[in-house]
Amino acid sequence: AQLKPFPQAFLWGAASAAYQVEGAWNVDGKGPSVWDTFTKIPGTTFEGSNGDVAVDHYHRMEEDVALMAEMGLKAYRFSVSWPRIFPSGRGTPNEAGLAFYERLIDALLARGIEPVLTLYHWDMPQALQDEYGGWESRRIIDDFEHYCVTLYQRFAGKVKYWVSLNEQNYNLTNAYQLGTHPPAVQDRKRFFAANHIAFLANARAIKAFRQHVPHGLIGPSFAYSPAYPASSAPSDMLAFENAEELTNYWWLDAYCLGRYPLAALNWLREQGEAPEILPGDMALLAEGKPDYIGVNYYYTLTFTDNPLGGQGLARINTTGKKGTTPSSGIPGLYKTVPNPHLETSNWDWAIDSTGMRIALRRLASRYALPLMITENGLGEFDQLGEGDQVHDDYRIAYLKSHLHACQQAMQDGVELLGYCAWSFTDILSWLNGYQKRYGFVYVDRDEQGGSLRRIRKESFFWYQQVIKAGHLLD
């Protein structure tokens, strides 16, 4: 059947995050975040890369927004750096920080680009990490609410779309299970405890949103990697069910249904690793449900059974060398295996556009909420060629197939508000430095003096045409 066109109001967007683009890490009164500290510890990131300068978006904001306008973007998703607003996490806001985001928002609006504002994209104020352990203390719930309300009050009249927590699942998995994000802990009990507190903070922020931004929409962005079973063997099906509950529904059910999935909660209780649930906690979650779900989709994961004594959690691929990601899992429940039907990126991420259609359908059907793709894209080594050309045809193919999957999902009945490609310019990849590029706009870091010159890639002109036409071109 002929696919229906994309809706007129579809938000054709692109995205970024403060730490990955802004730089200016200690400028205009900004306090340090946990990433400013962590990336300076030797061995934590690829070749010691950090976001001190990143792509210097803080100082080149006007130029970047002009490029967005030239491209025809209808939406731009960015995050606010908490320690830019509250250098030590709370107290009186730093006016220079608020003013920067106000200039950005005004520049977007002046060009008809809808701002999509992310409240938290991992850059916890270092002061709060030091004072009480960040997400490990319930004290963060008040501090996060205060920070959010400060932004609501300032920007309620200008910003309609808001993202509460970005990829809580991926960030805290790295922070408290794999030990690869700050504070680099490997402890499953602390992991689930921190997540529970983050759910409470998310719900409280959404409750406050209702008062301050009555006409806005808010939801978390979730890194959704839908689970597949490795085969139709019942043991693989069970492993897949276990993985979907413990790696996905744990977060999504807490956000959207105000409860935890049954078998996963029971298993954690048996391990003595379930979070402490105080009276009132679940009622708060139920009161803080989102208006939509932000979906960050990159790949699917395929699971097989994992007898006790089998493979535990493993580290991730930070080399950009194919086939170097070890299997990871929980003994007794599941472990990942490569999917023989799918190609992968150089970081071993399965390229699976059908998986995106499946993802959107599963979420829309289970939670009955509108969805927004808040991230989707391909991180690769790009080559700056003769005459400033970047032939990223592999990225065009990736984005095209995934946008097609979005269209099919809408045909299936999914309400999809928009699609923010990751990312607009090249960015700092948290652990992979500047070698892993995602942008429509190449940023030259190698040129003499580190010019950080912006260069339009082939994908820039492709997306420009798609947005102009309002549909995918052959």
Q: Provide the binding-site residues for ligand GCO, judged by CB under 6 A.
A: 17, 166-167, 296, 375, 379, 422, 429-430, 432, 436
Q: Is 375 a catalytic residue?
A: yes
CB 387 within 8 A of CB 409: no
| Residue whose CB is less far from ligand GCO, 17 or 268 | 17
Query: Closest approach of Cβ 47 to ligand GCO, in Å?
Result: 14
Query: Closest approach of Cβ 69 to ligand GCO, in Å?
Result: 24
Pairing of strands 371-375, 329-330: unpaired
Q: What is the DSSP string of 381-441?
A: ----BGGGB---HHHHHHHHHHHHHHHHHHHTT--EEEEEEE-SB---BTTTBTSSB--SE
Query: Closest approach of Cβ 347 to ligand GCO, in Å?
Result: 8
| Residue whose CB is less far from ligand GCO, 124 or 208 | 124
Measured distance CA(158)–CA(146) in Å, rounded: 19
Q: Which residue is nearest to ligand GCO (CB)?
A: 429
| Residue whose CB is less far from ligand GCO, 94 or 328 | 328
- The catalytic residue among 114, 136, 167, 380 is 167
Cα dist. 180→77, 173, 430 in Å?
A: 25, 9, 10
| Residue whose CB is less far from ligand GCO, 241 or 375 | 375
Measured distance CA(262)–CA(250) in Å, rounded: 9
Radius of gyration of the chain (CA): 21
DSSP 33: B
Q: Is 167 a catalytic residue?
A: yes
| Residue whose CB is less far from ligand GCO, 152 or 349 | 349
Query: Closest approach of Cβ 298 to ligand GCO, in Å?
Result: 7
Measured distance CA(451)–CA(296) in Å, rounded: 31
| Residue whose CB is less far from ligand GCO, 240 or 398 | 398
What is the biggest distance separating any 2 CA atoms in the chain, rounded to whole angstroms? 64
| Of the candidates 2, 4, 54, 13, the residue with the CA atom closest to the CA atom of residue 467 | 13
- The catalytic residue among 22, 136, 244, 375 is 375
Query: Closest approach of Cβ 77 to ligand GCO, in Å?
Result: 10
Query: Closest approach of Cβ 431 to ligand GCO, in Å?
Result: 6
Token pair 């950090």 in the structure block, residue: 50
| Catalytic center residues | 167, 375
